[in-house]
Amino acid sequence: MLTIGKLSRLTGVKVPTIRYYEQIGLLSCPERSEGGQRIYEMAVGQRLSFIRHARELGFSLDDIRELLTLSDEPDQSCAAVDEIAKRQLVEIEKRITRLTALKTEMRRMLDQCACQTVSTCRVIEVLGDHTLCTDDH
């Protein structure tokens, strides 16, 4: 059995986040000690680690909720899990494309800057006039 503080240290998830996950139903509400302290079983730590890792990979809370529901039924097909993961991969690829365009634009602004004064700074000029950008970001 773990207190919320121990669970937090074990999983690397902050206490307010653990409470939030309880509020939105990603974690079940724990039992309480006689003193009113939350008491968690080790299985909650595994579930919380799952949530944390999924968040690190960029999954939305709704997707995580669905993945947790699917993981609670281990004998079913994983086609739905694969579909969620494929959607997430598409989103990651979109972000990479957007970030690559942003990187290119930043590099172009810096390359065109004469590094003289702020009044002639290309970075300031481009930030002030989006039409000077090569892409719509």
Q: Report residue 4's pLDDT band, with 50, 70 and 90 as the boundaries.
A: very high
Q: Tell me, what's the pLDDT at 118?
A: 84
**In terms of domains, do 70 and 96 share one?**
no
Residues in the chain: 137
**In terms of domains, do 32 and 63 share one?**
yes
**In terms of domains, do 11 and 62 share one?**
yes
**In terms of domains, do 10 and 30 share one?**
yes
**In terms of domains, do 64 and 17 share one?**
yes
Residue range 83-104: mean pLDDT, rounded: 95
75: tokens are: 């004998």
Residue span of the structural domain in which 72 resides: 4-76
Q: What's 46-82 look like in SS3?
A: HHHHHHHHHHHCCCCHHHHHHHHHHHCCCCCCCHHHH
Domain count, the chain: 2
**In terms of domains, do 56 and 18 share one?**
yes
Judge whether 81 lies within some domain.
no
Distance, in Å, from the CA atom of 106 to the CA atom of 23, rounded to the nearest integer, reads 41
Is the pLDDT assigned to residue 136 strictly greater than 80? no
> 10-24, 48-62, 121-135: which range is least confident on average?
121-135
**In terms of domains, do 10 and 59 share one?**
yes
**In terms of domains, do 16 and 60 share one?**
yes
Give the tens place of pLDDT for each residue, 46-93: 999 999 999 999 999 999 999 999 999 989 999 999 999 999 999 999
**In terms of domains, do 13 and 66 share one?**
yes
